[in-house]
């Protein structure tokens, strides 16, 4: 209680909002941590300007905070346009929450827009490079080789985020022939079921039968599918390291020799791109990826100009 009293009104308001995000909106710990970081910087900036309560904040404060994010004028690290945009989105959400919750009567951030940023195309690798990457991950006969191959096969087969893949429990995998699938829990704990192709199913079953029991023997009985060498749930960082090692073995490395241009998200991007190149409807890809809006998914259509041109040439009556 003493700690709560010692906090400023803005700091207490931030804790209330973070609790709302966690309990009522069901945001993940990682997402909530990002909100805490961005909004904590906002609170420090407001207090440095003498703003003591939410009612003290005006639109100019929000605009000046955005400028400070881009330049580092508040003493923090200068952020890129995309990182600053993320922080401003968090600030706008917090102000809307204040109005809805009756903390303030007006929204000081309503007219402030995130900085414009160039639209970047998702990075994808070719089907042949995916094969090389997965083969490299499975080199060796030990349980970790079986695990790493199964992990990368699953990431590419389902388009899962790395957090969704390492969050899988054994009961989330349905290996039934002909309708094999995995149950993924995405942002906001939203659940979706994604089919599991034959290559991924074979790799996952091989790992579950021959690899996982060996790793599980060192642990305490976690239900996680992917385990580390101590028998505990594999972390996102360890999964990233497995991908990086496979990329180095496969010769899919960045200019500095670290494989830095490949990430677990690369396989998610490749999954979407290859589906669209194969003729999948964008709304089907949206469902498979777990995107809330088809607009998010449509960016992947920008990376398939050759396919679009080919379809146009074949389909339009006056294209030839």
Q: Which long-range contacts (CB under 8 A, 24 or more apart) does 274-281 make?
A: 274/124, 274/127, 274/130, 276/300, 276/301, 276/304, 276/307, 277/304, 277/307
- Domain locations in the chain as residue ranges: 2-100, 127-310
Q: What is the pLDDT of residue 320?
A: 61
Whether 302 shows a pLDDT value over 70: the answer reads no
* Annotation says 291 is catalytic: yes
d(CA 243, CA 133): 8
127-310 topology per CATH: hpI Integrase; Chain A (1.10.443)
Query: Are the C-beta atoms of residues 189 and 164 closer than 8 Å to each other?
Result: no
Indicate if 127-310 has the same CATH topology as 2-100. no
* Annotation says 274 is catalytic: no
Q: Which of 51, 92, 149, 161 is catalytic?
A: 161
Structure letter (DSSP) for residue 50: T
The residue with tokens 């990233």 is 240
d(CA 92, CA 207): 45
Supply the mean pLDDT for the chain: 87
Q: With respect to CATH, is domain 2-100 assigned 3.40.50?
A: no
Q: Which two tokens stand for residue 19?
A: 């609790």
pLDDT tens-digit series, residues 189-228: 788 999 999 999 999 999 999 999 999 999 999 999 999 9
Q: What are phi and psi of 103, to 5 degrees?
A: -75, -40
* Annotation says 316 is catalytic: no
pLDDT (mean) for 277-305: 76
Select the highest-mean-pLDDT range: 155-169, 180-194, 274-288: 155-169
Whether 309 shows a pLDDT value over 90: the answer reads no
Closest C-alpha among 253, 44, 312, 278 to residue 288: 278
* Annotation says 268 is catalytic: yes
* Annotation says 187 is catalytic: yes
Q: Which of 70, 123, 187, 249 is catalytic?
A: 187
Q: What is the pLDDT of residue 181?
A: 94
* Annotation says 149 is catalytic: no
Q: How confident is the model at residue 124 (pLDDT cuts 50, 70, 90)?
A: confident
Q: Which of 149, 268, 269, 274 is catalytic?
A: 268
């Amino acid at each position: 209680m003493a700690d709560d009293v010692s906090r400023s009104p803005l700091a207490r308001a931030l804790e209330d909002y973070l609790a709302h995000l966690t309990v009522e909106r069901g945001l993940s710990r990682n997402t909530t941590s990002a909100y805490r970081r961005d909004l904590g910087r906002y609170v420090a900036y407001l207090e440095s300007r003498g703003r003591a309560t939410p009612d003290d904040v005006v639109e100019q404060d929000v605009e000046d905070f955005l400028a400070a994010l881009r330049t580092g004028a508040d003493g923090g690290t200068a952020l890129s346009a995309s990182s600053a945009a993320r922080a401003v989105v968090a600030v706008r959400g917090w102000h809307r929450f204040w109005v809805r919750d009756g903390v303030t009567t007006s929204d000081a951030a309503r007219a402030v827009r995130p900085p414009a940023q160039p639209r970047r195309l998702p990075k994808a690798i070719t089907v042949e490079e995916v094969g090389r990457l997965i083969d490299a991950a499975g080199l060796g006969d030990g349980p970790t080789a079986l695990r790493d191959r199964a992990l990368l096969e699953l990431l590419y087969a389902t388009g899962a985020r790395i957090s969704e893949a390492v969050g899988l429990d054994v009961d989330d995998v349905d290996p039934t022939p002909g309708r094999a699938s995995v149950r993924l829990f995405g942002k906001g704990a939203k659940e979706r079921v994604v089919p599991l192709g034959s290559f991924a199913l074979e790799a996952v079953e091989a790992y579950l039968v021959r690899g996982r029991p060996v790793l599980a023997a060192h642990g305490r009985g976690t239900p996680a599918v992917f385990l580390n060498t101590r028998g505990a749930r594999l972390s996102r960082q360890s999964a990233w390291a497995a991908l990086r090692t496979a990329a180095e073995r496969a010769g899919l490395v960045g200019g500095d020799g670290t494989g830095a241009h490949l990430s677990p998200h690369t396989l998610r991007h490749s999954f979407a791109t290859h589906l669209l190149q194969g003729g999948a409807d964008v709304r089907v890809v949206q469902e498979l990826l777990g995107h809330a809006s088809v607009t998010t998914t449509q960016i992947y259509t920008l990376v398939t100009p050759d396919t679009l041109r080919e379809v146009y040439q074949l389909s339009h009556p006056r294209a030839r």
